Structure 1
Amino acid sequence: MHISLSLAAFLIAAIATLLGAFAILRARTRWGLVARGDGRAIGGPALVAGVVLAVASTARIDLHLIIGGILIILVGTIDDLIDLSPWQKLIGQGAAAGIVAAGIASSPQAPIVPALMGVATFVWIVLLTNAVNLIDGLDGLLIGTIAPAMVVLILISVATGDLFTLILASACAGALLGFLPFNWAHARLLLGDTGSEFIGFFLAVLTVISFVHRPHSSSIPIFFLIAAVPISDTAFAIIRRLVHHRSIFAGDTGHIHHRLARLIGERRSIALLSSISILTSAAAFLVWHAGM
């Protein structure tokens, strides 16, 4: 049953995302729908729709997760349409994270003190939502760095019998695969803030839920390892901006992936960072297995 439901979630998400992406491409051609400042269309809604359809078809979701998910989708969509300020985005992300954190902290399954669980969940969701959003600076890079994390969550969920996390991780993996043909080198579609913020939020929530369902002594290093590339890039960006007395919200092309792209080209940069993500995700699985 576990495998069949997760496979169903994977296939539904992949097919729905693929069809949605085709529909967006067709709409772009017919009505000229393109991203701000770019000739390519925002395909994030196709990925989001694929995940939502797959999860709705195979799992029962708590209300706080639904509300938080809707909020983060709205924040990303509005930002793609009218370009929100960093503080406006942060307030919206904080609201979504706060709702989810409150729901998880109040759960009888919460493995640590509720107040600590709530604060840690809030910070982790906001951090990872933005880290994944920032790593989406080269075609296909977000998928290349997040897909390995989803694979590890799937493997751990299968081993522990955590059906809920398994279904959600499978749905996200399927959607990423379905979107990949449109987002690889010379991408025809961009994820936009709608897609990248949703994936970051989704990954953060998945890791927290995995911890709540199956507490592990090494959960914190495991989670940081599977998200090592986006978190390292964000930390580097914050430190660099502080050293140069700039706002941490100031956009630039000084991210790790931008610097690598100038040195070795975009494709090699994507391949290198994706390979690093595979290695850190594999290390996360080994750390988890060693603690069993």
Structure 2
Amino acid sequence: MHASATPRIGGLPVMLAVVSGMVYLYFSEKQTNSWYFLCSLLPVWLAGMTEDFTKKVSALKRLIAAFISALVGMWLINAKLYPLNIGIIDQFTQTYILLNALIIMIGVGGTTHSLNIIDGFNGLASGVTMMLLTVIAYVAFQVGDNFILTQSLLLLFATLGFFVWNFPGGKIFAGDGGAYLWGFAIAELLVLLVNRNPGVSPWFPVLVVIYPVWETIFSIYRRKFVRGHPVGEPDAIHLHSLIYRRLVKCSDKTPALKIRQNSMTSPYLWIVSLFGTIPALFVWNNSTRIFIFMGLFVLIYGALYSMIVKFKLKSWMKSGRKNQINSEISKPTI
């Protein structure tokens, strides 16, 4: 969905920026936990970067690397499954460390992989990542957790540095290294935020990441139970793929307009993500309201997906796209 050969090693400069910030934090604030956090990031980031360079690391191996990173996080920074306020489940997960480890591997690994699934258009994954990190930083500030605050801001600005090269021109792509770095870091920070701060609802992390996670869950359902295809088989009917083809499509396929079509897809999905992140800013300490907004998100996502699939698109969804593309086509060639 891009017009020319483009480097997909954006995960490398993002990680270099993160490491530079951690060095500064260590010497200025003596944040030794930053190094432990970095150690937990390394397995999944290295797996992603290796795939970007070699194209020989399967999705299963990358998922296993995410599981390993989750276990390292449990060991070094106590990123364990927190009580979910569900009686017997909490009793078992807090008593049996292996069960705790299994659930945290699935949760963190799944969230990590979900960021990779939505990484398909200029500015999409990085834009969503910055939204999620902003919410995490805000709640960390509210509860006075300086470690989570500084780590989330560090990742936020490292991602911003990538974003200005990726959107709208698509000069560099995040690749698997970048997507897995973002997904794992967000998952770990959310686990730590709840573990370290009892006032934060245990279901707050789910609302924050509900867009990429629900996209993943819905994709599994669609492939397995609707189409009868293997869960791991790629397809082109993700919500972002449908928006690209049916809302921002244009007949002219010159390189400049193809890049523009790619970039014009992301703002639609940024708005979708906001239906989870904006409520999270206000209900981070109220589980009942979090469940309500989670349900509303699922309904909104389903309604939008259904409208696009059935071509029942509202005029306001398409009018801006037509005018913008027409104006580009009408511009004189220089």
Q: Distance in 1 between matches of 2:160 and 2:36?
A: 27
8 Å Cα contact 1:132/1:199 also seen in 2? yes
8 Å Cα contact 2:130/2:156 also seen in 1? yes
Q: What are the equivalent positions in structure 2 for 1:227-238 lying under 5 Å apart?
A: 227-238=209-220
8 Å Cα contact 1:129/1:200 also seen in 2? yes
Residue identity matched to 1:280: G
**Which residue matches 1:50?**
17
Q: After superposition, give the CA deviation of every residue in 1:141-173 in whole Å (9 maximum; x if it has no partner).
A: 012212111111111111111011001000011
**CA positional deviation for 1:255:** 1.4
Residue 283 of structure 1: which of 279, 290, 294 is its match?
A: 279
Residue identity matched to 1:99: V
Q: Are 2:226 and 1:226 equivalent residues in the alignment?
A: no
**Which residue matches 2:131?**
148
Work out which of the two has the higher radius of gyration on C-alpha atoms and give 1 or 2. Answer: 2
Residue identity matched to 1:287: V
Q: Distance in 1 between matches of 2:263 and 2:209?
A: 21
Q: Are 2:71 and 1:94 equivalent residues in the alignment?
A: no
Q: What are the equivalent positions in structure 2 for 1:61-100 lying under 5 Å apart?
A: 61=33, 65-83=37-55, 84-100=57-73
Deviates more, 1:66-75 or 1:256-265: 66-75
**Which residue matches 1:40?**
6
**Which residue matches 1:202?**
185
The verdict on how the C-alpha distance between 1:104 and 1:119 changes in structure 2, with shifts beyond 3 A counting, is farther
SS of residue paired to 1:187: coil
Q: After superposition, give the CA deviation of every residue in 1:221-266 in whole Å (9 maximum; x if it has no partner).
A: x212211211121112111110222221222222111111111124
Residue 102 of structure 2: which of 116, 119, 134 is its match?
A: 119
**CA positional deviation for 1:106:** 8.4
Q: After superposition, give the CA deviation of every residue in 1:74-108 in whole Å (9 maximum; x if it has no partner).
A: 1011111222122222222222222223445588x
TM-score, normalisation: structure 1? 0.79
Q: Distance in 2 between matches of 1:106 and 1:172?
A: 18
Q: Distance in 1 between matches of 2:199 and 2:100?
A: 14
The verdict on how the C-alpha distance between 1:274 and 1:143 changes in structure 2, with shifts beyond 3 A counting, is same
- Aligned residue pairs total 253
The verdict on how the C-alpha distance between 1:170 and 1:239 changes in structure 2, with shifts beyond 3 A counting, is same
Of the two structures, which has the highest relative contact order with CA contacts closer than 8 Å and spacing of 6 or more? 1
8 Å Cα contact 2:14/2:178 also seen in 1? yes
Residue identity matched to 2:278: A
Q: Distance in 2 between matches of 1:252 and 1:186?
A: 25
Q: Distance in 1 between matches of 2:202 and 2:118?
A: 23
8 Å Cα contact 2:122/2:169 also seen in 1? yes
**CA positional deviation for 1:56:** 2.9
TM-score, normalisation: structure 2? 0.70
Q: Distance in 2 between matches of 1:216 and 1:39?
A: 48
* Root mean square deviation, CA, Å: 2.4
Q: Distance in 1 between matches of 2:4 and 2:148?
A: 36
